[in-house]
Each structure stands twice: as C-alpha cells, then as structure tokens.
Amino acid sequence: MDNFIYKAKQLHVENVAISDIASFVGTPFYVYSQTSIEQNYKTFQNAMSGTKHLICYAMKANSNQAVLKILGNLGAGMDVVSGGEYLRAKAAGIPGDRIVFSGVGKTREEINLAIRGGIRQFNVESEPELSEISKVASELDTEVPVTLRINPDVDAKTHLKISTGKSENKFGIPLYNARRTYAFAASLQGIRIIGIDVHIGSQLSDLTPYKDAFAKIRQLTEVLRADGHNIDRVDLGGGLGIIYESSNDDMPSPADYGCLIKEVFDGLNCELELEPGRWIVGNAGLMISSVIYPKKGEGRNFLIIDAAMNDLLRPALYDSHHDILPVKEPFNSVKLEKFDIVGPVCETGDTFATQRIIPNMGAGELLAFRSAGAYGAVMASEYNSRPLIPEVLVSGNKFAVIRDRPSIQDIISRDNLPDWL
C-alpha cells in the first residue's frame, strides 16, 4: 500500500498534508511514514515464514532513533558497521543479542565496546581482524561468537560503487581461502565459530547473483561442517533493490527472494539472518523541497530549489534517479515542461534531474522526492555551511520532528580557535 497519495489536491503522508508539515518545519526536510516502515518489515517477515530466522535491519540505510525504535518494537535485530551505530542501536533499546557487527575495519575500541555491551556475533572479514578479536576477548576472559564473511566472487550486477561480492572488492575472505581461515579461527583463544556470512551488494534488481552466491555458501557450509566446524547460522546479508522509477516496476519482491532462500537452503538445518535496509525504509520516505527560482537558460529551463547535494547525495554520487512530483496535485490540463532540477550549491554536480518532465513550478511551490527514506539523511553533510535538514515521522494523523534543524550558530560554535589567533 502506498502511504503517499494525493487527497483534496494535496500530497499527503498517511493522513497528514505535506504542506502542513512544511509550514511547521520549513523546507527542505525528510518525512517518513511509520505505517510504511512497519508494512515493509512485515512483508520481509512473511516472506521468510516457515524458517528459523532473524531480520537484522541494516541501519546504515537510516539510523534515526525513531526508525530503530519502530523496528525494534517489531522484534527486528540490527546490523551495525561502527561503534557509533552500535551505540545508536543500544540507545534505541535493542539488546546486544539482536545486534550483528559487520564491517571491514572494526577497531580495537569498537570490538571492546561490543563485547562489553553484548553482541549477537561479529561478521569477521580478515585474519588480522580475527586475531584482534581474539586478543580483546582473551583480555576480557570471554568467548565471542563469530561468523566469517566469505567473498564468493559473484557479480551483483549493480552500481560499481555498491557491489561488494567480487574478488577485487575489499570485502570478505576469498572463497578459496575459507577452509584455511576457519581452521585458523578455530585455533584462536576467545573465538567461537557459529556460522558463515555473505553479502554481495546493494540495490540488486535480479535474483540470479543471489542464487549463484547462495549455492556457493551452501556448498561451503557442508564442507566446513565436514571439517568439524559448527555452522549453525548463515547470514545472507541484504541488498534487495527497490523501485526508484515508477515506470520501472520489474523488481524481485521479498516473496521471490524468500522462495529462493528456502529453495537453496532447504534441509540445511540452520538459522538464517537477513540484513535488509533500503527495502525497509527507502520507499517509506520523501524529501521535500521548495522552489527558490525558476530560471531560463540557453536551450533549457531550470528549477533552482532549496535542497542541495549535501541534503540528498545519491544523484550526485551514483547518478541515481528519484521520481519528483509536485506536492500540489496538478490539473490534468496543466502544461508539462522539461526542467533541470538543481540545488544552490556552486557545483554542476548539484543536479537532481536533467530534462525532467513536470508541471511548470513557481517560487515557493513544493516538490517531493520519492524513495528518499534510505541513504538520504544518513549521508547528508553541512557542505557550504548548510544545516542538516529536519527529519519528520508521520503516524496516521500525527507528525513529530525526530531530528531538528541546527542553527548556523550551532554549526559555528563547534569550531575552536587556537590561542594564537
């Protein structure tokens, strides 16, 4: 169900008019639908029915405390990739036994933090990391559950910058070296092997790479068990893609994904972990911006808006598409024109869309960027001394600001002048 629809000629989030939120917080801002987040999580849960599993939300996609609390209340675990994310998860009330710690560069301080605070497992990416975890665990006189992340050398057929399962990527232990690394792990004090981990990329639009990678992981699981290792848990990572462009709805569903998983791992008798992030929150959020100026250029028209690349980086970083629509529903007879939709930052890369066909918009009118709930606010910066934009959560006919817009003085006050100036 789409919880972003026009009512009385105004775009709403659930039962709240976006124009009302804009009047309260100003633009630009992010807005999320609690109902959509809950629906998306439950869709994944239903897709895995009949299996022993835990969905560990990849909180890198959107780590706002309110989002984590919504998912935690539904029983979700968390996939974290830094000490900061770990502490965010704990602050949202997620117990340590539902937190999986991933990432290629865990520091000694982060390892210590997670062991002391409680952890479901470390997904380990290298032998040096194994050694470091062993040292810290031994110093704390404890034993730590680990899986080893295996790089299956499978092309996820996604954007180059978010492909993580090929041999040239920095992630995981090469498949050919898995047995030796598991033997090394088994020899270390403080290490308790519990399973295996794989993650091949993000925004996958085809299940074939998953099938290829999962088949390799199943086979390796059987080999490792024959070697005497305890493989009771298989972490399958995340990466299932979402629809960013309404004209392209040919994407695999969680139900399709779940069927594949059940087919490949049938009879293996292990607990499965999944780490969806984008699929849970991506289409549960919008970014809202106002037109500053319409501008006529040579051979093209521009809409200069008050959001910029520092607020929503994906178009500049990945050449990503976001559907953009007016908050005020246009009449059927309205004239459509081509516009380049750009922000105020002094870089050509501060471009959200080129030659996009939309109604002619005037200064002060509102635009909504769809599919902005994932990798939006979390990747934002204060480039050009532009404050981070607010985040708003809607539930039914209520809304709340879940991250405030800082003042310019807040930004300036973080700087410290040396005593010689």
Same domain (yes/no): 258, 328: no
Domain boundary among 256, 281, 306: 281
- The strand pairing partners of 148, in sequence order, are 124, 196
pLDDT value at position 162? 59
pLDDT value at position 297? 86
Quote the tokens at residue 406: 């800082």
Same domain (yes/no): 346, 216: no
Instruction: Examine residue 229 and state whether it is found in any structural domain, yes or no.
Output: yes
Nearest to 386 by CA among 345, 347, 327: 345
Nearest to 405 by CA among 420, 419, 386: 386
Range in 151-165, 232-246, 263-277, 322-336 with the lowest mean pLDDT: 151-165
Quote the tokens at residue 11: 């775009």
Calpha distance 39→137 (Å, rounded): 39
Instruction: Examine residue 421 and state whether it is found in any structural domain, yes or no.
Output: no
Selection from 141-155, 242-256, 390-404 with the highest mean pLDDT: 390-404
Same domain (yes/no): 235, 381: no
pLDDT digits (tens, 9 = 90+) for 67-78: 999 999 999 999
Query: Phi first, then psi: what are they for 4, rounded to 5°?
Result: -120, 95
Q: Provide the 8-state DSSP code for 334.
A: P
Same domain (yes/no): 26, 124: no
Is 259 catalytic? The answer is: no
Tell which wins on pLDDT, 148 or 299: 148
pLDDT digits (tens, 9 = 90+) for 84-112: 999 999 999 999 999 999 999 999 999 99
Q: What is the mean pLDDT of the chain?
A: 93
Calpha distance 370→13 (Å, rounded): 12
Instruction: Provide the CATH number for the domain around residue 290.
Output: 2.40.37.10
Same domain (yes/no): 262, 303: no
Calpha distance 134→144 (Å, rounded): 8
Residue for token pair 């569903």: 253
Same domain (yes/no): 305, 369: yes
Query: Phi first, then psi: what are they for 128, rounded to 5°?
Result: -60, -35
CB 337 within 8 A of CB 301: yes
Same domain (yes/no): 292, 407: yes
pLDDT digits (tens, 9 = 90+) for 142-181: 999 999 999 886 765 655 555 565 556 667 788 999 999 9
Instruction: Examine residue 418 and state whether it is found in any structural domain, yes or no.
Output: no
Residue for token pair 């020899």: 187
Same domain (yes/no): 266, 168: yes
Range in 59-63, 272-276, 334-338 with the lowest mean pLDDT: 334-338
Calpha distance 134→130 (Å, rounded): 6
Instruction: Examine residue 21 and state whether it is found in any structural domain, yes or no.
Output: yes
Same domain (yes/no): 45, 59: yes
Same domain (yes/no): 292, 272: no
Same domain (yes/no): 156, 204: yes
Instruction: Examine residue 248 and state whether it is found in any structural domain, yes or no.
Output: yes
pLDDT category, 352, cuts 50, 70, 90? very high
Q: Provide the 8-state DSSP code for 303.
A: E
Mean pLDDT for the stretch of residues 189-194: 98
Mean pLDDT for the stretch of residues 44-71: 97
Domain boundary among 281, 304, 328: 281
Q: Is the pLDDT of residue 202 over 90?
A: no
Mean pLDDT for the stretch of residues 34-63: 97
pLDDT value at position 154? 72
Calpha distance 380→280 (Å, rounded): 19
Report the run of H or E that residue 32 belongs to, with start and end.
strand 29-33
Instruction: Provide the CATH number for the domain around residue 86.
Output: 3.20.20.10
Structural domains in the chain (count): 2
Hey, is 166 helix, strand or coil?
A: coil
Domain boundary among 254, 281, 308: 281
Report the run of H or E that residue 291 belongs to, with start and end.
strand 285-296
State how far Cα 39 lies from the chain centre. Answer: 17
Range of the domain at 180: 34-281
Same domain (yes/no): 226, 342: no
Query: Phi first, then psi: what are they for 257, rounded to 5°?
Result: -60, -45
Q: Give the whole-number percent of the chain exceeding pLDDT 70.
A: 96
Instruction: Examine residue 129 and state whether it is found in any structural domain, yes or no.
Output: yes
